Chains A and B, each alone.
Chain A
Amino acid sequence: MNHEHIESDSRTVFGFFTYLMTDIVLFAALFATYAVLRANTFGGPGSDELFDLPFALLETLLLLFSSLAAAVSLLAARKGSIVGVIISLSATFALGGAFLLLELSEFAKLVAMGAGPSRSAFLSSYFTLVGTHGLHIFIGLVWVAALMAAVAVRGLTRSTMRRLALFTLFWHFLDIIWIFIFTIVYLFGTVL
């Protein structure tokens, strides 16, 4: 593994990290919008009626465990264990997928009870904020599935190792965003 490749991969990791920082700014804008429009329920249901805290806690734990599983995949990759990588990435996928299914079921339930995104400004901003996060999760799941296939077929090459690192950064970042969704949307929502 020559020095040029290391330099190039370093730059890629740094560049991707910078992109994640801009994604944080995107979410900040969505958070700001949600915070401003929280109380604009237009006569419809508010956060105290709609959000189930234990359910949100379950989602939080799923994502946290998923983040840990992704980290384990890096440690397995460092040891050169393809099997270890596939197993831990499968766990990452399963936990993240469970999170997404729970979230989609919550969205479906809200829409069915007439509390969809078009009901009020509060609900529009809620669906946009949480939905955008969910979309990122979905893209991450597609990514990790592709990564698992790449590692299974080509093994732990410099390319797959680099992509593992980038995915793990992405996945940790999504968990960090979720911390704030859990706090600002669900914790605040059931209290105020």
Chain B
Amino acid sequence: MNHEPTKDYFAEVGFWPEGTGIRAYLVGFLLSLVFTLIPFTLVEIHLASHHASFSHESLLVWALVFAVLQFLTQAAFFLHLVGKHASRERRAIFLAAVGVVAILMGGSLWIMNNLNDRMMGNPGAMTDYMQQEDAF
């Protein structure tokens, strides 16, 4: 069917809020660029100083912080999930997915780390312990 698209087809189907222009995308793009270059630079400085500048833990935290910031930036400016004209249904499904992801990743890491601790460092330790305790 060949229709002339009306003034803003994408706004009509709820893809983006009316009046969306290049500005939103440029802001999102520049912020994403910054949020990519900052953690990259921090890690490069760390490596160049042979792991002297910044501790491992702080780097990990900051890299994650900037990843989340860029994620939110792209969700807002590219996926149009933020703002009063944004689709509430899409935001709801998005938050549901984020929740599932948090449980999946957080839970997996928690459980596997916990199991790791309980393994006393090596697979043979359990067998040795049982032999020692005459459990066989």
Q: Which A residues form the contact surface with B (CB < 8 A)?
A: 1, 5-6, 9-10, 12-14, 17-18, 21-22, 24-25, 28-29, 31-33, 35-36, 53, 57, 60-61, 64, 67-68, 71-72, 74-75, 77-78, 80, 154-159, 161-162, 165, 169, 172-173, 175-176, 179-180, 182-184, 187-188, 190-192
Q: How far is the CA of A58 from the CA of B79 in the complex (A)?
A: 23
Q: Quick one: CB contact mask for B23-44 with A, threshold 8 Å, 1 for yes? A: 0010001001100100110011
A156 B36 Cβ-Cβ under 8 A = no
Which residues of chain A are within 8 angstroms of B120 by Cβ–Cβ distance?
A: none
Main secondary structure of the interface of A (DSSP, over half): helix
Q: How far is the CA of A61 from the CA of B97 in the complex (A)?
A: 26
Q: Quick one: CB contact mask for B116-131 with A, threshold 8 Å, 1 for yes? A: 0000000000000000
Give the bracket for the number of chain B residues in contact with chain A: 35 or more
Pick the contact of A31: B15, B36, B70, B105 (CB < 8 A).
Answer: B105
Which residues of chain A are within 8 angstroms of B25 by Cβ–Cβ distance?
A: 68, 71-72, 75
Which residues of chain B are within 8 angstroms of A175 by Cβ–Cβ distance?
A: 74, 78
A190 B47 Cβ-Cβ under 8 A = yes
Check B6 for interface membership: any CB of A closer than 8 A. Answer: yes
B5 A21 Cβ-Cβ under 8 A = no
A176 B74 Cβ-Cβ under 8 A = yes
